[in-house]
Amino acid sequence: MMKFNLISFVLCFSIVSLNIVAAQKKTINEKIDSVFRLMTLEEKIGQLNQYNDDWRATGPTTVDNDKVNQIRKGQVGSLLNSLGTERIKSWQNIAMESRLKIPLLFGQDVVHGYKTTFPIPLAEAASWDLEAMELSARIAAIEASAAGINWTFAPMVDITRDPRWGRVMEGAGEDTYLGSKIAYTRIKGFQGKKLGELNSLMACAKHFAAYGAAIGGRDYNSVDMSDRMLWETYLPPFKTAVDAGVATFMNAFNDINGVPATGNKYLQRDILKGKWAFKGFVVSDWGSIGEMVNHGNVKNDYEAALSAITAGSDMDMESRNYKNNLAKLVKDKKIPIALIDDAVKRILKKKFELGLFDDPFRYCNAEREQAALNNPDHPKVARAIAAKSIVLLKNQDQLLPLSKNTKTIAFIGPLVKSLRQNKGFWDVDVPGVDSNFIVSQWEGLQNKISGNTTLLYAKGCDIEGNNTEGFTEAVEIAKQSDVVILSIGERRDMSGEAKSRSNINIPGVQEDLLKVLLATGKPVVVLINAGRPLVFTTVNDAHAILYTWWLGSEAGNAIADVLFGDYNPSAKLPITFPLSVGQIPIYYNHFNTGRPAKNDNNHNYNSSYTDLSIYPKYEFGFGLSYTTFEYSDIHLSKKKMKINEKIEVSLTIANTGKYNGEEIVQLYIRDKVGSIIRPVKELKDFTKIKLNAGESKPIKFYIDKEKISFYNQKLQWQAEPGEFELMIGASSSDIRLRGEFELIR
Ligand code: GLC
């Protein structure tokens, strides 16, 4: 009897729990349908409509004094650039007056921090420290979500090989493998464990696709490439974003192979929502739907809306084309209502996942906002990753690190006392927060030096212009010093969106200032602050060079940590630094060509310039340390592998210098022969290893078919039998160990 009761209990319990699970499992879909089935066509179109609020316009704007009314009528699905919980609450309150009370989504470019500003993404990429980058994005999400925001338009995962393009600052550089790893990491950081957790943001993989390949490095310009190049170089970070569970995509302004990305069915329907089965939603970039008229791809806004919704653009940022045309397109039977329904359901799903239907104000809690924005740990994290992002390019006679007891330091340059410049292009003006709460470079050094040190200051010159009147004062203090630190570079708004430059030399008379300082005979350390690789000449004569990018809130402290050795620089360049703008595009993973130039001295019928070297100033993966590392004992577990086998690559890294440090060990592979020619080398793995002075450690890499596959002529991802060269490098040119292996059938 007892046994029977037990069985019946277990049976009943499982049926009940299955029902609960089933009920829970269907909840979001049921909830979506419970709202969706009540929606009028106008309310459905409203969900596809996103407006800019008033904090900042990041594109051409439309004056619209009717937003409140439209939100009240359920004709708006999302706002961007609304800042602060009070303002966001006020908009959400208006949305709650609408018939169906569908909550608004609030989006914001939280690209490298909200209140705490982290290094620009290109600088963080130089750290190659995935854990640090995830934490940086995590903190950005904690702060922004506490301030009412639930969606960041980041990470930008566009690969680019052209530093003239201003948005190079916003990505992870030129390499697909590194860029894919960083895309995954940042999305995990922004979205946290699960959407709907209070400190998570929806992330947005952008700009789909190949926006970084704009011809001439000119923003918004055309992109033209083979599908094979698209698949091999530019799409992988986006696929990684889908694998990371990214909530949204943003399409791109550019046309690609003759079709604007916003109206590109191949990209958005065939690849993203088809082959990759992406279940989130796609937002157009600012006004890009209407811009298809400018592209000459459609005749008018009516056709633009038709093209965009058909191609898979779900939400219309700021162009008002969907609001003004979709109803008519349905009425004219130009589009099936199913296209709109699919877009609406994708957007409603995210609003449910974020918990906004349960509580539209859940992200608007003033106490939580204050706690998050004043968390003392956040600046510490920013300082740590900023130090990890600084690249040591030169250190003649081990001038660095400086002694904290240096008697007199002359700190010179137009960026020494700057505040906001250190925040880079995509900073956020948090309401009620002094946007100058930045540790300037000047303050950073003052915080660091001992009482025995005198810190002298002179601006020397401006960033731009040809005024050299400040040189005299600068030379005077240099002569009184034991060492000169010169902080020069661009303005923060000389890189970023719509900031492409044909000349990427250090602007103004800053290098002339360096020249007169060098003439004093004093040792000179140059800090270069920029959002892109710059081309420099006189800087090459400095005794030490640190590339300090734009490092954010803790810039000054991080720079001081590196200058005085409290952090041994470990960063390596995520993008090639050209000798001259004339070399662009220049990148490490190039093809060999039929007439490779072996060196710079022979131009005899080979692929070289007769007037310039073919080699960059600094190669991809380059960066020095205050210590030295030795690579030894490479061993491959086998020399021949079958397609489903792996090769273990083991080696030893030793810190042979006198400072503790970190080394980014890079693994490159060359497929010697392919049905599609293969690059002379491709980054296929890396590891960042900490070693105390004198310490050595073994490290291991694994080669599998994924690492030797590529897209063939038919766009099939496959590996081809043959010989491979394996290179272990401290950079893409500084190859320390080599090996060979063969893929056999
Ligand atoms: C801008 C940018 C995009 C950004 C959006 C909202 O034009 O292209 O990256 O997220 O508009 O600011």
Q: Are 614 and 608 in contact (CB under 8 A)?
A: yes
CA of 289 relative to ligand 1 center, distance in Å: 13
Instruction: Determine the residue of 53, 284, 497 to mutate for testing ligand 1's pocket, defined as the one with the most ligand atoms within 8 A of the Cβ atom.
Output: 497
Nearest to 48 by CA among 254, 406, 335: 335
pLDDT at 596 over 70: yes
**Which position has the higher pLDDT, 429 or 141?**
141
pLDDT at 546: 98
Cβ atoms < 10 Å from Cβ of 338: 8
pLDDT one-digit tens code per residue, 697-730: 999 999 999 999 999 999 999 999 999 999 999 9
pLDDT at 432: 85
Cα-flanking dihedrals φ and ψ of residue 670, to 5°? Answer: -125, 125
CA of 60 relative to ligand 1 center, distance in Å: 11
DSSP string, 254-319: SEETTEEGGG-HIIIIIIIIIIT---SEEEPPTTTTTHHHHHTSSSSHHHHHHHHHHHT--BEES-
Which residues are near ligand 1 (CB < 6 Å)? 58-59, 80, 109, 153, 206, 285-286, 497
Atom 1 in ligand 1: residue holding the nearest Cα:
58
The fold of the 629-744 domain, in CATH, is Immunoglobulin-like (2.60.40)
Give residue 429's pLDDT band: very low, low, confident or very high (50, 70, 90): confident
Percent above pLDDT 70 for the chain: 97
**Which position has the higher pLDDT, 19 or 484?**
484
Nearest to 578 by CA among 603, 550, 607, 612: 612
CA of 250 relative to ligand 1 center, distance in Å: 9
Dist. CA 138–CA 186, nearest whole Å = 8
Give residue 9's pLDDT band: very low, low, confident or very high (50, 70, 90): low
pLDDT one-digit tens code per residue, 287-345: 999 999 999 999 999 999 999 999 999 999 999 999 999 999 999 999 999 999 999 99
Atom 3 in ligand 1: residue holding the nearest Cα:
285
Cα-flanking dihedrals φ and ψ of residue 71, to 5°? Answer: -65, -40
Percent above pLDDT 90 for the chain: 92
Q: Does the global pTM surpass 0.85?
A: yes
Nearest to 213 by CA among 232, 230, 227: 230
Position 200, amino acid: S
Ligand 1 atom with minimal separation from the 170 CA? 9
Q: Is 190 exposed, middle or buried (0-12, 13-18, 19+ CB in 10 A)?
A: buried
Ligand 1 atom with minimal separation from the 81 CA? 12
Ligand 1 atom with minimal separation from the 153 CA? 10
User: Start-end ranges of CATH 2.60.40.10 in the chain?
Assistant: 629-744
| H helices present in 374-422, as ranges | 377-389
Instruction: Determine the residue of 51, 52, 109 to mutate for testing ligand 1's pocket, defined as the one with the most ligand atoms within 8 A of the Cβ atom.
Output: 109
CA of 223 relative to ligand 1 center, distance in Å: 18
Structure token pair of residue 710: 């590529």
CA of 385 relative to ligand 1 center, distance in Å: 25
pLDDT at 56: 84
pLDDT at 8: 65
Instruction: Determine the residue of 286, 289, 315, 319 to mutate for testing ligand 1's pocket, defined as the one with the most ligand atoms within 8 A of the Cβ atom.
Output: 286
Ligand 1 atom with minimal separation from the 156 CA? 9
Give residue 21's pLDDT band: very low, low, confident or very high (50, 70, 90): low
Which residues are known to be catalytic?
285
Mean pLDDT of 467-486: 98
Dist. CA 317–CA 507, nearest whole Å = 35
Q: At what angle do helices 236-243 and 176-191 cross, to 10 degrees?
A: 30
User: Start-end ranges of CATH 3.40.50.1700 in the chain?
Assistant: 375-583
Q: Quick one: residue 146, left, alpha or beta (phi over 0 = left, psi -120 to 50 = alpha)?
A: alpha
Residue carrying the six token digits 């599908």 = 227
Q: At CA 499, angle to CA 391 and CA 247, rounded to 5? A: 80
CATH of 375-583, one of 3.40.50.620, 3.30.413.10, 3.40.50.1700, 2.60.40.3500: 3.40.50.1700
Q: Are 461 and 510 in contact (CB under 8 A)?
A: yes
Q: Are 297 and 257 in contact (CB under 8 A)?
A: no
Dist. CA 479–CA 424, nearest whole Å = 32
The CA-based dihedral angle spanning residues 488, 491, 495, 501, taken in that order and rounded to the nearest 10 degrees: -80
Q: Are 129 and 109 in contact (CB under 8 A)?
A: no
pLDDT at 2: 53
pLDDT one-digit tens code per residue, 344-386: 999 999 999 999 999 999 999 889 999 999 999 999 999 999 9
